[in-house]
Amino acid sequence: MLRKVLLIGKGARSLVPLLVGLALAAALVPVGFGLLYGARTIHDLLTENKQLKQAITNLTQEDQIGYAKVLSQEKRDGRLCTTLKFVETARDDKLKRILEKEFTVEGDVIHFDALIVSFGDKMVMDGRQKALYLWRRVYGEDTAPADGFPIEEPGKQPKRYKDLLAKLGAPEQKMFWKAIWDLANNPDGLRRYDIKAVYGNAVYTQLRPGLIYVFKITPAGQVYPETVLDM
């Protein structure tokens, strides 16, 4: 009897490593699948997700997207500096401010750099040209773009498009905006998904007090400023 107990105990002990191994394997299966799925999620999202394509198709034609105005211009250490207010307005209400920042930039010729993302026929169901934009930075004429002041936080969902992907889950939304922001550093990266980004040709103008510089965008994604008197 004692011999049987010992044999059973020995057999149970031999099963422990096997059971532990099986438990670890079971635990790793979801992780491995998640990693594999994560590697191809952006591909699936951009090629097969009908909700994303419908959201892009529903992009309305935008007109006014914000404005800038001079708060002050003064000499500092012998160099002219411009302090300006930059405002971004809501898509459905030109009077609603969704982003407001102040910058002090050297000089009076100011560059406003935007990442323009235009979508081709594969991404737009109705075949009409659609585009969205992401403000990147503000800088003066004698300042390197990389040293400019950031407007939007790279990788984050812009407030202006908060409702654009409402039907997608939070992980898919985060993944989409990260991919879009990555275009700024890799413009050819998503070309196979029929997404094109035009950036680097920043809108620039000479700013003067007493004027408001209204930024507008065309359906093709061209940003341009219109000058009006500050009332």
Q: What is the pLDDT of residues 88-118, one digit of tens each?
A: 998 888 889 999 999 999 999 999 988 888 8
Nearest in space to 202 (alpha carbons), one of 163, 124, 146: 146
> From CA 32, how far away is CA 19, in angstroms rounded?
20
What is the identity of the amino acid at 57? Answer: T
What is the identity of the amino acid at 191? Answer: R
Which pLDDT does position 84 carry in this prediction?
98
Q: Where are the domains of the chain?
A: 2-48, 57-229
At 172-208, the pLDDT tens digits run 888 888 888 887 777 676 777 777 776 656 889 999 9
Nearest in space to 62 (alpha carbons), one of 230, 174, 226, 223: 223
> From CA 90, how far away is CA 67, in angstroms rounded?
12
Element (H, E) at 64: strand 64-76
At 129-152, the pLDDT tens digits run 677 888 989 999 999 988 999 998
